[in-house]
Amino acid sequence: MYETLCTPRIPDEAAMARCRARWDGVAKPLNGLGQLEDIICRMAGLTGTDEVCLDPKSVLVLCADNGVVARGVTQSDASVTAAVARSIAMGRGNVCRMAEVAGARVIPVDVGMEAEVDHPGILVRKIMRGTRDISRGPAMEKSQALALIRAGMELVRERKELGDRLIATGEMGIGNTTTSSAMASVLLGMPPQRMTGRGAGLPPEKLRHKIRVIDEAIRVNDLDPNDPLDVLHKLGGCDIAAMAGVCLGGARYGVPILLDGFISGVAALVALLVCPGAKHALFATHVSREPAGRLVLDALGLRPLVYADMALGEGTGAVTVMPMLDMALAVYKSGSTFKDIQISAYKRFSEGS
């Protein structure tokens, strides 16, 4: 249905084979670094070279407001989105402190905040000033959702031209666990009660209200669960749409994309339903403690690296694994080989040998 939206790169099988052979030459048990080896090999296939490089790195934090906040589904009001975006732009956000350790640049991007935050550190790609209340009707027009997706893809192109080799997704938007839970419920065909969590810390009665609002949103919108863009423009947020575009951009331009938690997982699900080949560019980092976090990863067919009960957002979960990847790459590039230490290499055997 949306084949022309993104033409993904086909993984380079030869580069992956060279990468695997190089791993097997390092003096360690075969697959001794487990998923870390697999990820580096997948990145070799995506980028077309076994000389994998992960620097420079960046974190795109997509910032947007959600009209459903007016229904009292959050502990904070919409003004917090702009306040946190400004804090990130000033280098004071939680993700900024973590990214500094990981050697990544953090880029807050206004794709749909209500407020105009005047700060040079915020990249403005605003398509609209927040979405409408999804419990009363569609969040946005389909044309706006498509514009946001294309904006996300363009961000990846720009970052690649500036030299970035690895991009992490992040988000900042009060109310976006409501929009993402609503979308996940429809796309995965599961009840909102199973897909909805406490977000930033709702008490039980507020959580029940949040679920009721999501039920209303699903009921009042004439949804086609087989059309991901229909679900996106009626139930989603500007941040989710732009992150879906980042996922598709990674596939088009050959840039590995580190997914953060539940919300970016929902965005990735949209990307894969639009373009299944986008999966080659996507890498799960951690399992969010939102109830549907693991369910979304299972639907994506991706395995996370970290189980840390995180639910902070901003891209912090994705940044957490960056040092792990750097350490794996150090072994890949500079680890002792079997020849170096003069011992016989391990051999691979087929199952049943």
State the average pLDDT over residues 197-206: 78
Per residue in 44-81, pLDDT (tens digit) is: 999 999 999 999 999 999 999 999 999 999 888 889 99
* Tokens representing residue 279 in the block: 């999966």
CATH number of the domain that 79 lies in? Answer: 3.40.50.10210
- Choose among 211, 199, 186, 193: nearest CA to 262: 199
In whole angstroms, how far apart are CA 68 and each of 45, 143, 174, 293? Answer: 41, 20, 9, 21
Instruction: Say if residue 352's pLDDT is above 70.
Output: no
Cα 238 to Cα 253: distance, rounded to the nearest angstrom = 22
Task: Collapse the DSSP code of 63 into the 3-class scheme (helix H, G, I; strand E, B; otherwise coil) and give the result.
Answer: strand
In whole angstroms, how far apart are CA 14 and each of 7, 42, 43, 350? Answer: 21, 11, 12, 20
State the average pLDDT over residues 200-223: 90
DSSP code, position 75: S
pLDDT for 350: 67
Q: What percent of the chain has pLDDT over 90?
A: 83
Longest pairwise C-alpha distance within the chain:
70
Instruction: Say if residue 208's pLDDT is above 50.
Output: yes
* Tokens representing residue 244 in the block: 């879906």
pLDDT for 340: 83
In whole angstroms, how far apart are CA 12 and each of 45, 204, 254, 282? Answer: 4, 49, 11, 15
In a domain, 247, yes or no: yes
Q: Which residues are catalytic?
A: 314
Domain count, the chain: 1
Q: 């938007």: which residue's tokens? A: 173
In a domain, 101, yes or no: yes
In a domain, 311, yes or no: yes
In a domain, 336, yes or no: no
Provide the angle, in degrees to the nearest 10, between the axes of the packed helices 238-253 and 262-274.
60
Instruction: Say if residue 349's pLDDT is above 80.
Output: no
In a domain, 41, yes or no: no
Instruction: Say if residue 186's pLDDT is above 60.
Output: yes
Q: H-helix or E-strand containing 219?
A: helix 204-220
- Choose among 113, 25, 42: nearest CA to 344: 25
Instruction: Say if residue 92's pLDDT is above 50.
Output: yes
Cα 128 to Cα 131: distance, rounded to the nearest angstrom = 7
> Which of 82-86, 200-204, 255-259, 321-325 has the lowest average pLDDT?
200-204
Residue 245 contacts residue 151 (beta carbons within 8 Å)? yes
Q: 């009363």: which residue's tokens? A: 136
Cα 126 to Cα 117: distance, rounded to the nearest angstrom = 11
Q: How confident is the model at residue 225 (pLDDT cuts 50, 70, 90)?
A: very high
Pairing of strands 123-124, 104-112: parallel
State the average pLDDT over residues 103-120: 95
Please, which residues have CB within 8 angstroms of residue 100's CB and are 6 or more apart in sequence?
none
Q: For 186-208, give one letter per residue: b (16+ CB within 10 A) or e.
A: bbbeeebeebbbbbeebeeebbe
Domain hosting 253: range is: 55-324
Per residue in 247-301, pLDDT (tens digit) is: 999 999 999 999 999 999 999 999 999 999 999 999 999 999 888 899 999 999 9
Please, which residues have CB within 8 angstroms of residue 30's CB and are 6 or more apart in sequence?
24, 346, 348
Task: Collapse the DSSP code of 106 into the 3-class scheme (helix H, G, I; strand E, B; otherwise coil) and give the result.
Answer: strand
Q: How confident is the model at residue 324 (pLDDT cuts 50, 70, 90)?
A: very high
Terminal Cα distance for the chain, rounded: 45
In a domain, 70, yes or no: yes
Residue 186 contacts residue 231 (beta carbons within 8 Å)? yes
Adjacency order of strands within the sheet including 257-258: 123-124, 104-112, 57-64, 166-172, 257-258, 282-283
Instruction: Say if residue 42's pLDDT is above 50.
Output: yes
In a domain, 108, yes or no: yes
Residue 333 contacts residue 54 (beta carbons within 8 Å)? no
Question: Residues 220, 222, 223, CA angle at the centre, nearest 5°?
Answer: 115
In a domain, 265, yes or no: yes
pLDDT for 284: 97
Residue 50 contacts residue 20 (beta carbons within 8 Å)? no
